[in-house]
A = this chain, B = another copy of it.
Amino acid sequence: MNARGIAAEAAHMIREAIMDGSFRPGEELREGSLAESLTVSRGSVREGLSILEREGIIRTGWHRPATVIPVSRDHARNLYRLRAGLDRIAAQGAAHHTRADGFSPALESLRSAVTDGAARSEVVRADLEFHDAVYEVADNAPLTSAWQAIRSQIRLYQLVRSAEPESGYDSSLVAEHSRYAEILTSGDVETAGRYAEQHVESALEGLLGRLGD
């Protein structure tokens, strides 16, 4: 939480409440009650909700309460199709720049989270932070911005994916990401792009299996 300002803090609180299930998909978020429970003004809550809308995890309508986005197979497919495209560009960019040590710390952190048997949410967080590192190495501000705009939605679906035990979510996680990092440092732009797309595609497959809908 390094974000400055009450609005950003409000956004943080609401976001985490959504992530831990305190607000279900489709549920309404009323500015008034949020303001009361967070002990801030409705204006700040409103600005916080605007941030969350930018992250795509809530929708707003004219004179209607904000709602948590519903999760569905269709939306997941479209979201991951977009992510595949973004990751492809990021991987190409990262491979092009070839800064070897860019994602080693993130990879190490992911590995220790998995081997330590950390909570699901922690593993998901480490997973996303690895991808953050890839985007950072790619060094493309508009691309990173597009990633930020879907990151929270991805997080929501990853939590769904890893919600139940025996999901096999983190068994191959470290191996796949190690291979990913290897390819990126190899500098082979084309291969990197292809691998990134395929990586996301397989993640989608695993997710769709868990999405009854």
Contacts and interface: CB of A to CB of B under 8 A. Distances in A.
Number of copies: 2
A75 B93 CA distance: 14
A89 B85 contact: yes
Q: How large is the interface on A (under 10, 10 to 19, 20 to 34, 35 or more residues)?
A: 20 to 34
Interface stretch (A27-35, A139-147, A180-188): A139-147
Interface stretch (A76-84, A110-118, A169-177): A76-84
Report which residue of A78, A81, A142, A150 has the largest number of chain B beta carbons within 10 angstroms of its beta carbon: A142
Contacts of A143: 78, 81-82, 85
A83 to B, nearest CB: 8
A86 B140 CA distance: 14
Nearest to A74: B141
Contact of A145 (B50, B81, B149): B149
Interface of A: 4-5, 43, 47, 50, 54, 56, 62, 75, 78-79, 81-82, 85-86, 88-89, 93, 140-143, 145-146, 149-150, 153
